[in-house]
Amino acid sequence: MLGWALAFIVLALIAGFLGFFTLAGLAASIAKILFLIFLVLLVVSFVMRAIRGQSVV
């Protein structure tokens, strides 16, 4: 999922550079949403590993 977020941020940068501001805004929004979902899943994963008694590192 982090890879998709990075792909959309690159798309947003390229689209913004070329003048497609609507597409750039949409791609940036999608990248933000995917990054937030990635972070939430990462935290949930750490919490679940800590509850099970496994190392989180």
Q: Could you give the percent of the chain with pLDDT greater than 90?
A: 21
Q: Could you give the CA distance from residue 13 to residue 49 in angstroms, rounded to a whole number?
A: 36
- Share above pLDDT 70 across residues of the chain, in percent, rounded to a whole number: 95
**Cβ–Cβ under 8 Å, residues 30 and 15:** no
pLDDT at residue number 11:
87
Q: Are the CB atoms for 49 and 56 separated by under 8 Å?
A: yes
Mean pLDDT of the chain: 87
CA distance 14 to 47: 37
| pTM score | 0.71
